Amino acid sequence: MSAFPSIPAPSSFRGLIGVAREDITPPVGIYARSWGAAKHDVAEGIHRPLTLTCLTFQVDANEPPLVLIAADLGWWRSRQDEWAIRGPVLEALKLHESRLMFCLSHTHAGPGIQRDNADRPGGHLIAPYQEEVRDAAVRAARRAIEGPQPATLTWRYGRCDLATNRDLPDPNGKRVIVGFNPAIPADDTLLVGRVTADSGRIIATIANYACHPTTLAWDNRLISPDYAGAMRDIVETRTSAPCAFLQGASGELAPAEQYTGDSSVAERHGRRLGFAALSTLEAMEQPGATLTYEGVVESGAPLAVWRQTSAPVSTALTAERALVTLPLKPMPSIGEIEAQWAACDDPVLKERLWRKRFVRKVVGVGTATEMPLWVWRLGDALLFGQPNEAYSRFQLELRCTFHPRHVAVMNLVNGSAGYLSPAELYDTDIYQVWQSPYERGGLERLIDEAKRYGGQI
Protein backbone atom coordinates (compact mmCIF):
# COMPACT_ATOMS: atom_id res chain seq x y z
CA MET A 1 0.00 0.00 0.00
CA SER A 2 1.39 3.37 -1.01
CA ALA A 3 1.79 6.19 1.50
CA PHE A 4 0.26 8.57 -1.07
CA PRO A 5 -2.53 10.39 0.81
CA SER A 6 -6.21 9.86 0.10
CA ILE A 7 -8.30 12.77 -1.03
CA PRO A 8 -10.27 14.54 1.72
CA ALA A 9 -13.04 12.27 2.94
CA PRO A 10 -16.60 13.50 2.30
CA SER A 11 -18.11 15.36 5.22
CA SER A 12 -20.36 12.92 7.01
CA PHE A 13 -22.33 12.32 10.20
CA ARG A 14 -23.20 9.06 11.88
CA GLY A 15 -26.10 8.87 14.32
CA LEU A 16 -29.85 8.43 14.70
CA ILE A 17 -31.68 10.19 11.87
CA GLY A 18 -35.44 10.53 11.58
CA VAL A 19 -37.46 11.58 8.55
CA ALA A 20 -41.10 12.61 8.11
CA ARG A 21 -43.19 14.37 5.48
CA GLU A 22 -46.48 16.31 5.68
CA ASP A 23 -48.70 17.84 3.01
CA ILE A 24 -49.26 21.57 3.66
CA THR A 25 -51.20 22.45 0.50
CA PRO A 26 -53.56 25.35 1.34
CA PRO A 27 -57.20 25.54 0.26
CA VAL A 28 -58.06 27.02 -3.11
CA GLY A 29 -59.38 30.53 -2.57
CA ILE A 30 -56.77 31.55 0.00
CA TYR A 31 -55.16 34.98 -0.35
CA ALA A 32 -52.10 34.47 -2.58
CA ARG A 33 -51.01 37.86 -3.91
CA SER A 34 -47.20 37.79 -4.06
CA TRP A 35 -46.64 40.31 -6.87
CA GLY A 36 -47.41 44.00 -7.16
CA ALA A 37 -48.16 43.48 -10.86
CA ALA A 38 -50.74 40.75 -10.19
CA LYS A 39 -54.37 41.32 -11.25
CA HIS A 40 -55.78 38.70 -8.87
CA ASP A 41 -55.72 38.15 -5.10
CA VAL A 42 -56.68 34.52 -4.50
CA ALA A 43 -55.38 31.13 -5.60
CA GLU A 44 -57.62 29.51 -8.20
CA GLY A 45 -56.07 26.04 -8.25
CA ILE A 46 -53.11 23.82 -7.37
CA HIS A 47 -50.15 23.20 -9.67
CA ARG A 48 -48.34 20.84 -7.29
CA PRO A 49 -48.85 20.09 -3.60
CA LEU A 50 -46.82 21.99 -1.02
CA THR A 51 -44.85 19.85 1.40
CA LEU A 52 -43.14 20.08 4.77
CA THR A 53 -40.20 17.74 5.30
CA CYS A 54 -38.54 17.16 8.68
CA LEU A 55 -35.19 15.57 9.46
CA THR A 56 -33.96 15.01 13.02
CA PHE A 57 -30.41 14.25 14.13
CA GLN A 58 -29.25 12.64 17.37
CA VAL A 59 -26.23 10.78 18.65
CA ASP A 60 -28.17 9.24 21.50
CA ALA A 61 -31.94 8.76 21.72
CA ASN A 62 -31.94 10.27 25.21
CA GLU A 63 -30.46 13.56 24.02
CA PRO A 64 -32.47 16.39 22.43
CA PRO A 65 -32.35 16.30 18.62
CA LEU A 66 -31.44 18.87 16.04
CA VAL A 67 -34.60 19.45 14.00
CA LEU A 68 -34.40 20.61 10.37
CA ILE A 69 -37.70 21.52 8.69
CA ALA A 70 -38.01 22.46 5.02
CA ALA A 71 -41.37 23.96 4.00
CA ASP A 72 -42.79 25.15 0.66
CA LEU A 73 -43.64 28.65 1.88
CA GLY A 74 -42.62 32.12 0.73
CA TRP A 75 -41.86 34.54 3.59
CA TRP A 76 -43.21 35.61 6.97
CA ARG A 77 -43.01 39.43 7.11
CA SER A 78 -43.98 39.26 10.80
CA ARG A 79 -42.18 37.98 13.88
CA GLN A 80 -45.56 37.09 15.39
CA ASP A 81 -46.65 34.99 12.40
CA GLU A 82 -43.33 33.17 12.29
CA TRP A 83 -43.29 32.53 16.03
CA ALA A 84 -46.88 31.22 15.87
CA ILE A 85 -45.41 28.25 13.95
CA ARG A 86 -41.94 27.83 15.38
CA GLY A 87 -42.82 28.53 19.02
CA PRO A 88 -45.28 25.63 19.37
CA VAL A 89 -42.78 23.25 17.71
CA LEU A 90 -40.11 24.22 20.25
CA GLU A 91 -42.60 23.88 23.09
CA ALA A 92 -43.97 20.53 21.93
CA LEU A 93 -40.48 19.06 21.60
CA LYS A 94 -39.02 20.82 24.67
CA LEU A 95 -36.22 22.15 22.48
CA HIS A 96 -33.78 25.02 22.96
CA GLU A 97 -34.17 27.63 20.24
CA SER A 98 -30.74 26.80 18.84
CA ARG A 99 -31.83 23.27 17.89
CA LEU A 100 -34.54 24.06 15.33
CA MET A 101 -34.13 25.48 11.83
CA PHE A 102 -37.43 26.07 10.02
CA CYS A 103 -36.41 26.79 6.41
CA LEU A 104 -38.65 28.31 3.74
CA SER A 105 -38.22 27.43 0.07
CA HIS A 106 -39.23 31.03 -0.80
CA THR A 107 -41.74 30.06 -3.48
CA HIS A 108 -43.43 33.14 -4.91
CA ALA A 109 -46.50 31.08 -5.87
CA GLY A 110 -47.52 30.17 -2.34
CA PRO A 111 -50.32 31.31 -0.04
CA GLY A 112 -50.34 34.39 2.14
CA ILE A 113 -49.22 33.52 5.66
CA GLN A 114 -49.50 36.93 7.31
CA ARG A 115 -52.51 37.46 9.55
CA ASP A 116 -52.32 41.19 8.83
CA ASN A 117 -53.79 40.30 5.43
CA ALA A 118 -56.92 38.79 6.98
CA ASP A 119 -59.09 41.58 5.51
CA ARG A 120 -57.93 40.87 1.95
CA PRO A 121 -59.87 38.55 -0.42
CA GLY A 122 -59.27 35.01 0.82
CA GLY A 123 -57.58 36.40 3.92
CA HIS A 124 -60.06 34.67 6.24
CA LEU A 125 -58.29 31.40 5.36
CA ILE A 126 -54.86 32.54 6.53
CA ALA A 127 -55.31 31.98 10.28
CA PRO A 128 -56.67 28.42 9.94
CA TYR A 129 -53.95 27.65 7.40
CA GLN A 130 -51.28 28.85 9.82
CA GLU A 131 -52.71 26.46 12.38
CA GLU A 132 -52.57 23.61 9.85
CA VAL A 133 -48.90 24.33 9.11
CA ARG A 134 -48.15 24.53 12.84
CA ASP A 135 -49.83 21.19 13.52
CA ALA A 136 -48.14 19.58 10.51
CA ALA A 137 -44.72 20.73 11.71
CA VAL A 138 -45.33 19.30 15.19
CA ARG A 139 -46.60 15.99 13.78
CA ALA A 140 -43.69 15.63 11.38
CA ALA A 141 -41.11 16.44 14.05
CA ARG A 142 -42.64 13.99 16.51
CA ARG A 143 -42.80 11.19 13.94
CA ALA A 144 -39.20 11.78 12.94
CA ILE A 145 -38.01 11.76 16.55
CA GLU A 146 -40.05 8.68 17.45
CA GLY A 147 -38.81 6.61 14.51
CA PRO A 148 -35.14 7.39 13.85
CA GLN A 149 -32.78 4.91 12.27
CA PRO A 150 -29.04 4.40 12.68
CA ALA A 151 -27.81 6.09 9.53
CA THR A 152 -25.02 8.05 7.86
CA LEU A 153 -25.42 11.47 6.27
CA THR A 154 -22.93 12.05 3.45
CA TRP A 155 -22.45 15.27 1.47
CA ARG A 156 -21.14 16.07 -1.98
CA TYR A 157 -20.98 19.23 -4.11
CA GLY A 158 -22.43 19.21 -7.61
CA ARG A 159 -23.26 21.84 -10.22
CA CYS A 160 -26.42 23.15 -11.84
CA ASP A 161 -26.61 26.20 -14.09
CA LEU A 162 -30.28 26.94 -13.42
CA ALA A 163 -29.30 29.94 -11.27
CA THR A 164 -28.19 33.09 -13.09
CA ASN A 165 -27.31 36.59 -11.96
CA ARG A 166 -30.41 38.80 -11.86
CA ASP A 167 -28.86 42.28 -11.40
CA LEU A 168 -29.29 43.74 -14.89
CA PRO A 169 -28.38 47.36 -15.73
CA ASP A 170 -31.49 48.95 -17.21
CA PRO A 171 -30.82 49.55 -20.93
CA ASN A 172 -33.14 52.59 -20.73
CA GLY A 173 -31.88 54.21 -17.55
CA LYS A 174 -29.35 54.33 -14.75
CA ARG A 175 -31.03 51.90 -12.38
CA VAL A 176 -30.46 48.15 -12.05
CA ILE A 177 -33.52 46.01 -12.77
CA VAL A 178 -34.28 42.50 -11.48
CA GLY A 179 -33.71 40.07 -14.31
CA PHE A 180 -31.19 37.86 -16.12
CA ASN A 181 -27.78 39.45 -16.61
CA PRO A 182 -25.71 37.17 -18.86
CA ALA A 183 -22.59 39.29 -18.31
CA ILE A 184 -22.08 38.24 -14.68
CA PRO A 185 -21.39 34.60 -13.74
CA ALA A 186 -23.55 33.05 -11.03
CA ASP A 187 -22.75 30.64 -8.24
CA ASP A 188 -23.89 27.28 -9.62
CA THR A 189 -22.98 25.14 -6.61
CA LEU A 190 -25.42 22.43 -5.58
CA LEU A 191 -24.86 20.67 -2.26
CA VAL A 192 -26.51 17.27 -1.93
CA GLY A 193 -26.84 15.27 1.26
CA ARG A 194 -27.69 11.56 1.31
CA VAL A 195 -29.02 9.79 4.39
CA THR A 196 -28.30 6.06 4.20
CA ALA A 197 -29.61 3.58 6.76
CA ASP A 198 -27.41 0.73 7.93
CA SER A 199 -29.37 -1.56 5.62
CA GLY A 200 -27.98 0.40 2.68
CA ARG A 201 -31.33 1.98 1.84
CA ILE A 202 -31.51 5.73 1.21
CA ILE A 203 -34.08 7.16 3.63
CA ALA A 204 -33.75 10.87 2.73
CA THR A 205 -31.86 13.34 0.60
CA ILE A 206 -31.16 17.06 0.96
CA ALA A 207 -30.69 19.58 -1.87
CA ASN A 208 -29.19 22.94 -0.88
CA TYR A 209 -29.26 25.30 -3.86
CA ALA A 210 -29.41 29.08 -4.26
CA CYS A 211 -31.94 30.27 -6.85
CA HIS A 212 -35.02 32.44 -6.39
CA PRO A 213 -38.24 30.46 -7.05
CA THR A 214 -39.65 33.25 -9.21
CA THR A 215 -40.48 31.23 -12.30
CA LEU A 216 -44.21 31.66 -11.70
CA ALA A 217 -45.20 35.30 -11.31
CA TRP A 218 -48.10 37.73 -11.68
CA ASP A 219 -49.92 35.79 -14.41
CA ASN A 220 -49.86 32.58 -12.38
CA ARG A 221 -53.03 31.83 -10.41
CA LEU A 222 -52.04 28.43 -9.02
CA ILE A 223 -50.48 27.42 -5.73
CA SER A 224 -47.08 25.95 -6.54
CA PRO A 225 -43.72 25.07 -4.98
CA ASP A 226 -42.23 26.44 -8.22
CA TYR A 227 -39.20 24.48 -9.47
CA ALA A 228 -38.63 22.70 -6.14
CA GLY A 229 -41.67 20.50 -6.73
CA ALA A 230 -40.45 18.92 -9.96
CA MET A 231 -36.92 18.69 -8.53
CA ARG A 232 -38.18 16.63 -5.59
CA ASP A 233 -40.28 14.46 -7.89
CA ILE A 234 -37.23 13.54 -9.97
CA VAL A 235 -35.08 12.73 -6.93
CA GLU A 236 -37.78 10.94 -4.95
CA THR A 237 -38.80 8.75 -7.89
CA ARG A 238 -35.21 7.50 -8.13
CA THR A 239 -34.49 7.14 -4.40
CA SER A 240 -37.95 6.28 -3.02
CA ALA A 241 -37.20 8.65 -0.14
CA PRO A 242 -38.20 12.23 0.79
CA CYS A 243 -36.02 15.05 -0.51
CA ALA A 244 -35.75 18.27 1.52
CA PHE A 245 -35.06 21.43 -0.46
CA LEU A 246 -33.06 24.15 1.33
CA GLN A 247 -32.96 27.59 -0.32
CA GLY A 248 -29.41 28.96 -0.40
CA ALA A 249 -28.02 32.50 -0.35
CA SER A 250 -29.86 33.60 -3.49
CA GLY A 251 -30.18 37.37 -3.08
CA GLU A 252 -29.06 38.03 -6.66
CA LEU A 253 -29.76 34.60 -8.20
CA ALA A 254 -32.78 33.42 -10.22
CA PRO A 255 -33.56 31.43 -13.38
CA ALA A 256 -32.89 33.23 -16.66
CA GLU A 257 -36.42 32.43 -17.85
CA GLN A 258 -38.91 33.51 -15.20
CA TYR A 259 -41.92 35.76 -14.46
CA THR A 260 -44.39 33.54 -16.31
CA GLY A 261 -47.80 32.00 -15.74
CA ASP A 262 -46.77 28.83 -17.57
CA SER A 263 -46.22 26.05 -15.02
CA SER A 264 -44.40 23.93 -17.62
CA VAL A 265 -41.44 26.34 -17.32
CA ALA A 266 -41.22 25.64 -13.57
CA GLU A 267 -41.38 21.92 -14.37
CA ARG A 268 -38.43 22.21 -16.77
CA HIS A 269 -36.42 24.19 -14.24
CA GLY A 270 -37.12 21.59 -11.57
CA ARG A 271 -36.09 18.72 -13.83
CA ARG A 272 -32.78 20.45 -14.52
CA LEU A 273 -32.05 20.73 -10.81
CA GLY A 274 -33.40 17.26 -10.09
CA PHE A 275 -31.19 15.56 -12.66
CA ALA A 276 -28.19 17.51 -11.37
CA ALA A 277 -28.98 16.25 -7.86
CA LEU A 278 -29.23 12.67 -9.14
CA SER A 279 -25.90 13.03 -10.92
CA THR A 280 -24.34 14.24 -7.68
CA LEU A 281 -25.85 11.31 -5.78
CA GLU A 282 -24.45 8.84 -8.31
CA ALA A 283 -20.97 10.33 -7.84
CA MET A 284 -20.99 9.84 -4.06
CA GLU A 285 -18.82 7.28 -2.36
CA GLN A 286 -20.47 4.66 -0.20
CA PRO A 287 -21.30 5.71 3.37
CA GLY A 288 -18.15 5.90 5.45
CA ALA A 289 -15.84 5.59 2.45
CA THR A 290 -13.37 7.73 0.54
CA LEU A 291 -11.17 7.28 -2.54
CA THR A 292 -7.63 6.21 -1.70
CA TYR A 293 -4.64 5.77 -4.00
CA GLU A 294 -3.57 2.11 -3.97
CA GLY A 295 -0.65 2.06 -6.36
CA VAL A 296 0.32 1.43 -9.97
CA VAL A 297 -0.71 -1.35 -12.29
CA GLU A 298 1.65 -1.74 -15.24
CA SER A 299 -0.32 -2.22 -18.44
CA GLY A 300 -0.01 -0.56 -21.82
CA ALA A 301 0.47 2.52 -19.61
CA PRO A 302 1.36 2.88 -15.93
CA LEU A 303 -2.12 3.05 -14.39
CA ALA A 304 -2.82 4.79 -11.09
CA VAL A 305 -5.44 2.84 -9.16
CA TRP A 306 -7.83 4.52 -6.71
CA ARG A 307 -10.29 2.48 -4.66
CA GLN A 308 -12.98 3.22 -2.13
CA THR A 309 -11.70 2.48 1.38
CA SER A 310 -13.22 3.01 4.79
CA ALA A 311 -12.90 6.42 6.39
CA PRO A 312 -13.80 7.64 9.88
CA VAL A 313 -17.31 9.07 10.30
CA SER A 314 -17.89 11.80 12.85
CA THR A 315 -20.63 11.74 15.47
CA ALA A 316 -20.16 15.42 16.40
CA LEU A 317 -23.45 17.25 16.84
CA THR A 318 -23.51 20.88 18.00
CA ALA A 319 -25.90 23.81 17.67
CA GLU A 320 -25.39 27.53 18.31
CA ARG A 321 -27.71 30.50 18.00
CA ALA A 322 -25.91 33.84 17.80
CA LEU A 323 -27.19 37.40 17.53
CA VAL A 324 -25.64 39.66 14.89
CA THR A 325 -26.06 43.42 15.29
CA LEU A 326 -27.06 44.98 11.97
CA PRO A 327 -27.24 48.80 11.67
CA LEU A 328 -30.48 50.12 10.18
CA LYS A 329 -31.10 52.84 7.62
CA PRO A 330 -33.20 55.82 8.65
CA MET A 331 -36.77 54.64 8.08
CA PRO A 332 -40.27 56.10 8.49
CA SER A 333 -42.35 54.81 11.37
CA ILE A 334 -45.09 52.24 10.92
CA GLY A 335 -47.67 55.02 11.33
CA GLU A 336 -46.05 57.10 8.61
CA ILE A 337 -45.90 54.13 6.24
CA GLU A 338 -49.56 53.32 6.90
CA ALA A 339 -50.53 56.94 6.18
CA GLN A 340 -48.64 56.85 2.88
CA TRP A 341 -50.32 53.55 2.02
CA ALA A 342 -53.80 54.92 2.77
CA ALA A 343 -53.19 57.96 0.55
CA CYS A 344 -51.78 55.94 -2.36
CA ASP A 345 -53.93 54.89 -5.34
CA ASP A 346 -51.26 53.09 -7.38
CA PRO A 347 -51.58 49.30 -6.75
CA VAL A 348 -47.87 48.66 -7.34
CA LEU A 349 -46.77 51.44 -4.97
CA LYS A 350 -49.34 50.32 -2.41
CA GLU A 351 -47.87 46.80 -2.50
CA ARG A 352 -44.36 48.19 -1.96
CA LEU A 353 -45.54 50.31 0.97
CA TRP A 354 -47.35 47.33 2.54
CA ARG A 355 -44.16 45.28 2.29
CA LYS A 356 -42.16 48.15 3.79
CA ARG A 357 -44.60 48.13 6.69
CA PHE A 358 -43.94 44.42 7.29
CA VAL A 359 -40.18 44.98 7.18
CA ARG A 360 -40.42 47.85 9.65
CA LYS A 361 -42.41 45.68 12.04
CA VAL A 362 -39.77 42.93 11.87
CA VAL A 363 -36.69 45.09 12.52
CA GLY A 364 -38.34 47.37 15.07
CA VAL A 365 -37.37 50.93 15.94
CA GLY A 366 -33.92 52.30 16.64
CA THR A 367 -30.65 52.53 14.77
CA ALA A 368 -29.79 48.82 14.82
CA THR A 369 -31.46 45.43 15.18
CA GLU A 370 -30.35 42.03 16.44
CA MET A 371 -30.65 39.34 13.78
CA PRO A 372 -30.22 35.66 14.71
CA LEU A 373 -27.73 33.30 13.09
CA TRP A 374 -27.90 29.53 13.50
CA VAL A 375 -24.71 27.48 13.18
CA TRP A 376 -24.84 23.69 13.34
CA ARG A 377 -22.13 21.10 13.16
CA LEU A 378 -23.35 17.80 11.75
CA GLY A 379 -20.35 15.51 11.85
CA ASP A 380 -17.75 17.16 9.62
CA ALA A 381 -20.24 19.48 7.86
CA LEU A 382 -21.39 22.96 8.87
CA LEU A 383 -24.89 24.37 8.38
CA PHE A 384 -25.58 28.12 8.55
CA GLY A 385 -29.10 29.52 8.63
CA GLN A 386 -30.38 33.10 8.95
CA PRO A 387 -33.65 34.90 8.21
CA ASN A 388 -32.59 37.45 5.58
CA GLU A 389 -32.04 37.25 1.83
CA ALA A 390 -28.28 37.30 1.64
CA TYR A 391 -26.36 37.56 -1.61
CA SER A 392 -24.38 34.50 -2.70
CA ARG A 393 -21.17 36.05 -1.37
CA PHE A 394 -22.33 34.73 2.01
CA GLN A 395 -22.09 31.09 0.92
CA LEU A 396 -19.08 31.56 -1.35
CA GLU A 397 -16.93 32.97 1.45
CA LEU A 398 -18.04 30.38 3.99
CA ARG A 399 -17.29 27.50 1.63
CA CYS A 400 -13.84 28.96 0.94
CA THR A 401 -13.12 29.54 4.63
CA PHE A 402 -14.11 26.06 5.79
CA HIS A 403 -12.88 24.00 2.82
CA PRO A 404 -12.63 20.98 2.59
CA ARG A 405 -15.59 20.65 4.96
CA HIS A 406 -18.96 20.76 3.25
CA VAL A 407 -21.01 23.85 4.08
CA ALA A 408 -24.77 24.30 3.72
CA VAL A 409 -26.03 27.91 3.74
CA MET A 410 -29.71 28.84 3.98
CA ASN A 411 -31.68 32.06 3.62
CA LEU A 412 -35.12 32.57 5.19
CA VAL A 413 -34.52 30.44 8.27
CA ASN A 414 -36.73 31.08 11.31
CA GLY A 415 -38.05 34.34 9.93
CA SER A 416 -37.62 36.86 7.14
CA ALA A 417 -36.83 40.56 6.91
CA GLY A 418 -34.80 42.10 4.08
CA TYR A 419 -31.94 41.78 1.64
CA LEU A 420 -28.27 41.72 2.60
CA SER A 421 -26.30 43.02 -0.39
CA PRO A 422 -22.57 43.68 -0.81
CA ALA A 423 -21.47 47.09 0.43
CA GLU A 424 -20.43 48.30 -3.03
CA LEU A 425 -24.01 48.00 -4.32
CA TYR A 426 -25.20 50.68 -1.91
CA ASP A 427 -24.08 53.29 -4.43
CA THR A 428 -26.47 51.77 -7.01
CA ASP A 429 -30.19 52.25 -7.65
CA ILE A 430 -31.08 48.60 -7.15
CA TYR A 431 -34.11 46.89 -5.60
CA GLN A 432 -32.19 44.74 -3.14
CA VAL A 433 -30.65 47.87 -1.60
CA TRP A 434 -33.66 50.19 -1.48
CA GLN A 435 -35.90 47.36 -0.22
CA SER A 436 -33.51 46.48 2.58
CA PRO A 437 -33.82 48.03 6.05
CA TYR A 438 -30.10 47.47 6.66
CA GLU A 439 -27.33 49.99 6.34
CA ARG A 440 -24.25 49.38 4.18
CA GLY A 441 -21.98 46.65 5.55
CA GLY A 442 -24.64 44.30 6.97
CA LEU A 443 -23.72 41.40 4.71
CA GLU A 444 -20.04 41.74 5.53
CA ARG A 445 -20.80 41.79 9.24
CA LEU A 446 -22.93 38.65 8.92
CA ILE A 447 -20.14 36.87 7.03
CA ASP A 448 -17.56 37.80 9.67
CA GLU A 449 -19.77 36.55 12.51
CA ALA A 450 -20.58 33.31 10.67
CA LYS A 451 -16.88 32.66 10.12
CA ARG A 452 -16.19 33.31 13.80
CA TYR A 453 -18.90 31.00 15.10
CA GLY A 454 -18.21 28.36 12.46
CA GLY A 455 -14.58 28.27 13.52
CA GLN A 456 -15.55 27.72 17.15
CA ILE A 457 -18.24 25.08 16.84
Q: Are strands 222-223 and 45-46 parallel, antiparallel or unpaired?
A: parallel
The pLDDT value recorded for residue 1 is 43
pTM as predicted = 0.94
The whole-angstrom separation of Cα 278 and Cα 79 is: 37
The whole-angstrom separation of Cα 169 and Cα 36 is: 21
- The secondary structure of 107-134 as a DSSP string is -SSS----GGGTTSTTGGGHHHHHHHHH
Q: Are strands 368-378 and 12-23 parallel, antiparallel or unpaired?
A: unpaired
Q: Where are the domains of the chain?
A: 12-283+315-328+367-456
Cis peptide before 88 (omega within 30 of 0): no
Q: What are phi and psi of 125, to 5 degrees?
A: -90, -10
Residue 132: burial class (beta carbons within 10 Å; 0-12, 13-18, 19+):
middle
The whole-angstrom separation of Cα 156 and Cα 285 is: 9
The pLDDT value recorded for residue 335 is 82
pLDDT in tens, the chain (457 residues): 445 555 788 899 999 999 999 999 999 999 999 998 999 999 999 999 999 999 999 999 999 999 999 999 999 988 999 999 999 999 999 999 999 999 999 999 999 999 999 999 999 999 999 999 999 999 999 999 999 999 999 999 999 999 999 999 999 989 999 999 999 999 999 999 999 999 999 999 999 999 999 999 999 999 999 999 999 999 999 999 999 999 999 999 999 999 999 999 999 999 999 999 999 999 999 999 999 999 999 999 999 999 999 999 999 999 999 999 999 988 777 787 778 878 888 877 777 776 777 777 777 777 889 999 999 999 999 999 999 999 999 999 999 999 999 999 999 999 988 999 999 999 999 999 998 999 999 999 999 999 999 999 9
The whole-angstrom separation of Cα 9 and Cα 412 is: 30
